[in-house]
C-alpha cells in the first residue's frame, strides 16, 4: 500500500507528481504529500486527498525540477500531517537535509530509532519512515554520494519496502530503491520518473523499466543508472530491459461512469472476453495457455493447493468445487496469511496456485515462497498485472486481462479469475482424460457464451436498485448459498461490508440451523442465491426455515428455479440455469447490490474507509 512517485525533468515536475498521485490514490488515501527542490526542499502535506494537495500546490504556485510524492495508507502512526510523507532528516544543524517517501514497513524501526536517537537525531513523527531519512543522512556523511548512502542504509533495514530519496544539496537527482515492494522507472524525453505502478506515469511516458528486488537507481533529467548492492556496498551497474507499455491512459479514465467500481462492474463482459480471447480463437483447450512447461507440470499434478486473500480467496473456493467435480483433483484452498505461519503437510506433485489481482499482496507472495520452501516443486500464478512479483516468481502464469482495476472493491478481477480457473479446470480435466471431446466442445461453447450472459445479467440493475433502498436502512445482513455458490455468498457479503459498512455474514445455507438462525428477525435481511442446481430443493427448505421465523428474504433465483415471490420473499430472476457458469453470473447482481446500497448510504464507493487496494504490507 501507499503510492510513490518521483520525477526529475527539465520542466516543472509538480504536475507530473500530482497526476501520478491521483493515479496511485487507490493504494492508500489517508494523507498525501510532496517535496520539490526549489532553492531548498519545499514540502507540502495534507490529511486530505490528492485534490486537496493539488489546491495547496496551486495556491502556493509550487514549482521545481525534481521531486518525490506520496499517498499514504497508515501503518505506523495515525493519519495526520505530522505523519504524512515526505519525511525529513536534517532539521538539526550540520546534518545533510534529506527527504524520503516510503511504501512498506521497516520491521526493525524500533531498534533503529533508538540507535539514531542516541546519535543525536530528533524524531518528529510516529512513522517507521523517519528512521530511513535519518539513516540515509547518517550514512551520507561517510559515503561518496546519495546512491551509496541509500545502498548502505538498505543493508541495515529489515522488512519489505520501496523508497525514493532526495538530498537538498543535490537538487538535480533522486535515488530510488526496490526491496520487496513494487517500483518502476519511466523514461521520458524531457525527464525521468519513478512510481509504484505504471498507471502513475502514463501521461509522462510509455517506456518503463521494471526494477528487480535489491535494485537501487539514480535518476537525473538526462539519464539513469541502476546498481546492485551487497552488504551495503555498490557491487555493479546492472542493465534492465525497457518495455513499452501497452496500457493507455484511456484505460484508467472514468469515462461516462460515476465511480470506478461501477465502470468495472459494467466492463466485466469485455474483461472476460479479453481474458478468454485465446480460447475463443481455438477449437480446443491447450495447456500452453499457462506456459510452455505447463503440459509437463500438469501431467505430474495429482492435487492442487490454492493460496490467496480476500476476493481472490473466494475465487479459489469456487475453483475447488470445479477442480474436484470436473477434473477429479483433490484441492485445498488456504488463506495466504494463515498458511504462511502453519506447518502444513506437503503432498508430492501438488501444484500451488497463487491467485491475485495485483500480484503484490504481501501475504500471498510470502505464502507462495513458503510453499516452495516446504518442497512444493511447481507454482502457477493467476494474476492481472503482467510485471508483478507474483507473475515473476511463479513457474507458470495465466494473465487475467481485466485491465487496470482501480475501485478498491474487486469486481472484474474476480469474474476474470473465475473464468481463468474454469479454463484451468478444463485443461487439467482434459489431460486427465476426464473431459471427452464433446464435453470439451460444450465447455468452449459455454465460455464463448459467457460475455453475452454477463451482459444479460447486468440488466437486472433496476430491480437491484429498488432493493438497495431497503437495505440502506439495515445494520446487518446474512448471505446464503450452497455448494459452489456458497463462496459467491461470501463474496456478496464482503462487497456489502467493504463499501456500505453494513455488517454482513455469509453462511452455507445448511449451516443456518446450527446457530445463525437465532439472528433472524424482521430487521435482518437474508440474501440467498438460488440456482436451479442439484441443491435447490435443500436450499428451498433452508429458505422456509428463515421465512417461518419472520425473516425477510431477498432471493436471486434462476428463471427455472420456481421460487414464487410472496410476503417477505422478494425474488429477482436471472436467466435459466447456466451450468458451470452459474457462480460467475450470480456474482453480478451481488456486486450491483453492494454498489447501490453504498450509493444510498453516500459512502466513498471507490475509496472505502480504512482500506487500500494492493495490500503490500503484512
Ligand atoms: C475485496 C478486495 C480484497 C482483495 C485482497 C487480495 O474487494 O479487493 O479482498 O481481493 O486484498 O488482493 P489481490 O487479489 O490483489 O491479491
Cell of 355: 491467485
Ranges assigned E (strand) in 159-214: 161-167, 174-179, 184-187, 191-195, 207-210
How many whole angstroms separate alpha carbon 136 and alpha carbon 99?
9
What is the reported pLDDT for 218?
98
Neighbour order of strands in the sheet with 87-89? 87-89, 98-104, 161-167, 174-179, 215-219, 224-230, 233-238
Verify that 412 and 506 share a domain, yes or no. Answer: no
Q: At what angle do helices 129-140 and 109-118 cross, to 10 degrees?
A: 50
DSSP string, 83-138: TSSPEEE--STTS--EEEEEEE--TTHHHHHHHHHHTTPPP-SS-SHHHHHHHHHH
Verify that 23 and 108 share a domain, yes or no. Answer: yes
Closest CA to 18 of 47, 55, 73, 72: 55
Verify that 299 and 184 share a domain, yes or no. Answer: no
Over range 188-198, report the average pLDDT.
95
Over range 334-350, report the average pLDDT.
94
Q: At what angle do helices 461-471 and 582-601 cross, to 10 degrees?
A: 50
Contacts of 180 (CB under 8 A, 6+ apart): 104, 159, 160, 161, 162, 213, 362
Which of 26, 196, 265, 312 gets mutated to test ligand 1 (max ligand atoms within 8 A of its CB)? 312
Length of the chain: 618
Q: Is residue 28 part of a domain?
A: yes
* Ligand 1 atom 7 nearest Cα: 409
CATH number, domain with residue 485: 3.40.50.10490
Q: Is pLDDT above 90 for 387? A: no
Q: Is residue 281 part of a domain?
A: yes
Question: Phi, psi (5° rounding) for residue 425?
Answer: -60, -45
β-strands 378-383, 350-356 pairing:
parallel
Q: Is pLDDT above 80 for 151? A: yes
CATH number, domain with residue 189: 3.60.20.10
User: Ligand 1: does its nearest atom lie under 6 Å from the Cβ of 310?
Assistant: yes
Over range 21-39, report the average pLDDT.
91
User: Among 228-242, 278-292, 309-323, 596-610, which stretch is predicted with the lowest mean pLDDT?
Assistant: 278-292
Verify that 452 and 464 share a domain, yes or no. Answer: no
Ligand 1 centroid to Cα of residue 273, in Å, is: 22
Verify that 285 and 376 share a domain, yes or no. Answer: yes
What is the reported pLDDT for 92?
64
Q: Is pLDDT above 80 for 346? A: yes
Span 423-479, pLDDT tens digits: 999 999 999 999 999 999 999 999 999 999 999 999 999 999 999 999 999 999 999
Cell of 592: 450491483
Ligand 1 centroid to Cα of residue 311, in Å, is: 5
Place of cell 512517485: 5
Contacts of 518 (CB under 8 A, 6+ apart): none
Cell of 371: 510453499
Closest CA to 501 of 600, 572, 411: 600
pLDDT-above-90 percentage for the chain: 87
Total domain count, the chain: 3
What is the reported pLDDT for 615?
84
Q: Is residue 112 part of a domain?
A: yes
pLDDT-above-70 percentage for the chain: 99
Cell of 488: 459467491
User: Ligand 1: does its nearest atom lie under 6 Å from the Cβ of 334?
Assistant: no
Q: Is residue 523 part of a domain?
A: yes
Which of these is catalytic: 2, 229, 309, 383? Answer: 2
User: Among 225-229, 258-262, 613-617, which stretch is predicted with the lowest mean pLDDT?
Assistant: 613-617
Pair 194, 185: CB distance under 8 Å? yes
Ligand 1 centroid to Cα of residue 612, in Å, is: 9
Of the pLDDT bands very low, low, confident and very high (cuts 50, 70, 90), residue 368 is very high
Verify that 201 and 67 share a domain, yes or no. Answer: yes
How many whole angstroms separate alpha carbon 316 and alpha carbon 418?
8
User: Ligand 1: does its nearest atom lie under 6 Å from the Cβ of 410?
Assistant: yes
User: Ligand 1: does its nearest atom lie under 6 Å from the Cβ of 71?
Assistant: no
Ligand 1 centroid to Cα of residue 608, in Å, is: 13
Of the pLDDT bands very low, low, confident and very high (cuts 50, 70, 90), residue 112 is very high
Cα–Cα distance list, 588 to 259, 400, 410, 455 (Å): 16, 18, 12, 10
Verify that 92 and 122 share a domain, yes or no. Answer: yes
Ligand 1 centroid to Cα of residue 193, in Å, is: 28
DSSP-derived secondary structure letter, 323: H
Over range 111-139, report the average pLDDT.
95
2 is catalytic: yes
Verify that 193 and 272 share a domain, yes or no. Answer: no
Q: Which atom of ligand 1 is nearest to the CA of 308?
A: 16
β-strands 161-167, 98-104 pairing:
antiparallel
Place of cell 495490500: 615
Domain stops at, among 217, 247, 277 = 247
Closest CA to 157 of 220, 111, 99: 111
Cis amide leading into 13 (omega within 30): no
Of the pLDDT bands very low, low, confident and very high (cuts 50, 70, 90), residue 162 is very high
Over range 274-285, report the average pLDDT.
88
User: Ligand 1: does its nearest atom lie under 6 Å from the Cβ of 205?
Assistant: no
Over range 264-280, report the average pLDDT.
94
Ranges assigned E (strand) in 39-80: 41-46, 66-72
Q: Is residue 614 part of a domain?
A: no
Neighbour order of strands in the sheet with 503-508? 503-508, 476-481, 525-530, 552-557, 569-573
Span 492-544, pLDDT tens digits: 999 999 999 999 999 999 999 899 999 999 899 999 999 999 999 999 999 99
Closest CA to 112 of 84, 137, 132: 132
Verify that 265 and 314 share a domain, yes or no. Answer: yes
How many whole angstroms separate alpha carbon 65 and alpha carbon 80?
27
513 is catalytic: no
Ligand 1 centroid to Cα of residue 389, in Å, is: 15
465: β partners: none
Pair 8, 220: CB distance under 8 Å? yes
Of the pLDDT bands very low, low, confident and very high (cuts 50, 70, 90), residue 93 is low
What is the reported pLDDT for 61?
95
User: Ligand 1: does its nearest atom lie under 6 Å from the Cβ of 409?
Assistant: yes
Closest CA to 34 of 80, 1, 67, 82: 67
How many whole angstroms separate alpha carbon 194 and alpha carbon 67?
10
Instruction: Compute the 3-state secondary structure of the chain and give helix, strand, coil in percent, each to the nearest 5.
Output: 40, 25, 35
Pair 416, 384: CB distance under 8 Å? yes
- Average confidence score pLDDT of the chain: 94
- Say which residue, 365 or 181, is predicted with more confidence: 365
What is the reported pLDDT for 280?
84
How many whole angstroms separate alpha carbon 219 and alpha carbon 391?
27
Pair 311, 491: CB distance under 8 Å? yes
H or E element, residue 319: helix 310-325
Of the pLDDT bands very low, low, confident and very high (cuts 50, 70, 90), residue 216 is very high
Q: Is residue 420 part of a domain?
A: yes
What is the reported pLDDT for 249?
80
What is the reported pLDDT for 538?
92
Domain stops at, among 247, 275, 294 = 247
User: Ligand 1: does its nearest atom lie under 6 Å from the Cβ of 350?
Assistant: no
Domain stops at, among 432, 457, 482 = 457
How many whole angstroms separate alpha carbon 249 and alpha carbon 10?
23
Q: Is residue 616 part of a domain?
A: no
Over range 27-49, report the average pLDDT.
92
3-state secondary structure of 311: helix
How many whole angstroms separate alpha carbon 298 and alpha carbon 287?
8
Over range 29-43, report the average pLDDT.
92
Cα–Cα distance list, 52 to 201, 218, 270, 532, 602 (Å): 20, 30, 35, 51, 20
What is the reported pLDDT for 281?
79
Q: What per-residue string of b and e applies to 369-388 under the rule 16 or more CB within 10 Å gives b?
A: ebbbeeebebbbbbbbbbeb
Pair 140, 98: CB distance under 8 Å? yes
Over range 556-571, report the average pLDDT.
94
Cell of 497: 461490508
Verify that 451 and 390 share a domain, yes or no. Answer: yes
DSSP string, 191-204: EEEEESSGGGGTTT
Which of 264, 340, 357, 416 gets mutated to test ligand 1 (max ligand atoms within 8 A of its CB)? 357
User: Ligand 1: does its nearest atom lie under 6 Å from the Cβ of 5?
Assistant: no
Pair 491, 314: CB distance under 8 Å? yes
Q: What is the domain extent for residue 592?
A: 459-601
User: Ligand 1: does its nearest atom lie under 6 Å from the Cβ of 269?
Assistant: no
Radius of gyration (Cα) for the chain, nearest Å?
Answer: 26
Verify that 187 and 291 share a domain, yes or no. Answer: no
How many whole angstroms separate alpha carbon 402 and alpha carbon 412?
6
**pTM of the entire structure?**
0.90
Q: Is residue 311 part of a domain?
A: yes
Verify that 588 and 463 share a domain, yes or no. Answer: yes
Burial of 335 (0-12, 13-18, 19+ CB in 10 A): middle
Span 3-23, pLDDT tens digits: 999 999 999 999 999 999 999
Amino acid at each position: 500500500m501507499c503510492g510513490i512517485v518521483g520525477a526529475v525533468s527539465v520542466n516543472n515536475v509538480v504536475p507530473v507528481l500530482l497526476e501520478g498521485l491521483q493515479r496511485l490514490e487507490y493504494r492508500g488515501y489517508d494523507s498525501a504529500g510532496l517535496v520539490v527542490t526549489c532553492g531548498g526542499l519545499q514540502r507540502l502535506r495534507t490529511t486530505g486527498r490528492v485534490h486537496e494537495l493539488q489546491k495547496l500546490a496551486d495556491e502556493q504556485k509550487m514549482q521545481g525540477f525534481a521531486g518525490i510524492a506520496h499517498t499514504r495508507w497508515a501503518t505506523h502512526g495515525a493519519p495526520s500531517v505530522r505523519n504524512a510523507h515526505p519525511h525529513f532528516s536534517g532539521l538539526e544543524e550540520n546534518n545533510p537535509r534529506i527527504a524520503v517517501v516510503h511504501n512498506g514497513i521497516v520491521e526493525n524501526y524500533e531498534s533503529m530509532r533508538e540507535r539514531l536517537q542516541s546519535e543525536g537525531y530528533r524524531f518528529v513523527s510516529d512513522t517507521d519512515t523517519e528512521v530511513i531519512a535519518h539513516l540515509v543522512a547518517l550514512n551520507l556523511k561517510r559515503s561518496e554520494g546519495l546512491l551509496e548512502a541509500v545502498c548502505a542504509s538498505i543493508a541495515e533495514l529489515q522488512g519489505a519496502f520501496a523508497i525514493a530519496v532526495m538530498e537538498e544539496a543535490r537538487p538535480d537527482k533522486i535515488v530510488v530503491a526496490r526491496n520487496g515492494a513494487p517500483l518502476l522507472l519511466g523514461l521520458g524525453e524531457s525527464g525521468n520518473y519513478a512510481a509504484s505502478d505504471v498507471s502513475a506515469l502514463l501521461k509522462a511516458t510509455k517506456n518503463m523499466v521494471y526494477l528487480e528486488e535489491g535494485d537501487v537507481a539514480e535518476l537525473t533529467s538526462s539519464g539513469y543508472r541502476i546498481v546492485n548492492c551487497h552488504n551495503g556496498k555498490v557491487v555493479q551497474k546492472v542493465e534492465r530491459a525497457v518495455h513499452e507499455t501497452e496500457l493507455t491512459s484511456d484505460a484508467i479514465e472514468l469515462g461516462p461512469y460515476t465511480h470506478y467500481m461501477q465502470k468495472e462492474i459494467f466492463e466485466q463482459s469485455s474483461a472476460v472476453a479479453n481474458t478468454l480471447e485465446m480460447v475463443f480463437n481455438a477449437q480446443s483447450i491447450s495447456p500452453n495457455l499457462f506456459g510452455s512447461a505447463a503440459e509437463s507440470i500438469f501431467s505430474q499434478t495429482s492435487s492442487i493447493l490454492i493460496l490467496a486473500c480476500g476476493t481472490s480467496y473466494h475465487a479459489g473456493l469456487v475453483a475447488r468445487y470445479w477442480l474436484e467435480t470436473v477434473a477429479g483433483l483433490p484441492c485445498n484452498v488456504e488463506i495466504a496469511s494463515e498458511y504462511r505461519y502453519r506447518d502444513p503437510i506437503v503432498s508430492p506433485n501438488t501444484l500451488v496456485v497463487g491467485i491475485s489481482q495485483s500480484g503484490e499482496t504481501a501475504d500471498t507472495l510470502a505464502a507462495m515462497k513458503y510453499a516452495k520452501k516446504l518442497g512444493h516443486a511447481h507454482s502457477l500464478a493467476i494474476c492481472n498485472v503482467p510485471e508483478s512479483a507474483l507473475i515473476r516468481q511463479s513457474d507458470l502464469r495465466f494473465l487475467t486481462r481485466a485491465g487496470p482495476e482501480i475501485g478498491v472493491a474487486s469486481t472484474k478481477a474476480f469474474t476474470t479469475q473465475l473464468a481463468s480457473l474454469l479454463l484451468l479446470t478444463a485443461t487439467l480435466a482434459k489431460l486427465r482424460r476426464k473431459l471427452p471431446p464433446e464435453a470439451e466442445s460444450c465447455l468452449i461453447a459455454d465460455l464463448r457464451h459467457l460475455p453475452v450472459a454477463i451482459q444479460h445479467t447486468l440488466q437486472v440493475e433496476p430491480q437491484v436498485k429498488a432493493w438497495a433502498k431497503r437495505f440502506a436502512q439495515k445494520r446487518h445482513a446474512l448471505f446464503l448459498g450452497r455448494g459452489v455458490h456458497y463462496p459467491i455468498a461470501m463474496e456478496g457479503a464482503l462487497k456489502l461490508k467493504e463499501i456500505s459498512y453494513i455488517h454482513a455474514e455469509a453462511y452455507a445455507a445448511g449451516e443456518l440451523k446450527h446457530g445463525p438462525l437465532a439472528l433472524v428477525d424482521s430487521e435482518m435481511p437474508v440474501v440467498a442465491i438460488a440456482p436451479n442446481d442439484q441443491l435447490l430443493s435443500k436450499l428451498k427448505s433452508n429458505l422456509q426455515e428463515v421465512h417461518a421465523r419472520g425473516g425477510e428474504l431477498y432471493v436471486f433465483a434462476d428463471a427455472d428455479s420456481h421460487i414464487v415471490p410472496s410476503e417477505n420473499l422478494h425474488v429477482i430472476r436471472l436467466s435459466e440455469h447456466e451450468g458451470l457458469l452459474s457462480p460467475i453470473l450470480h456474482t453480478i447482481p451481488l456486486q450491483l447490490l453492494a454498489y447501490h446500497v453504498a450509493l444510498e448510504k453516500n459512502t466513498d464507493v471507490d475509496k472505502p474507509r480504512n482500506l487500500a487496494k494492493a495490500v503490500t504490507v503484512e
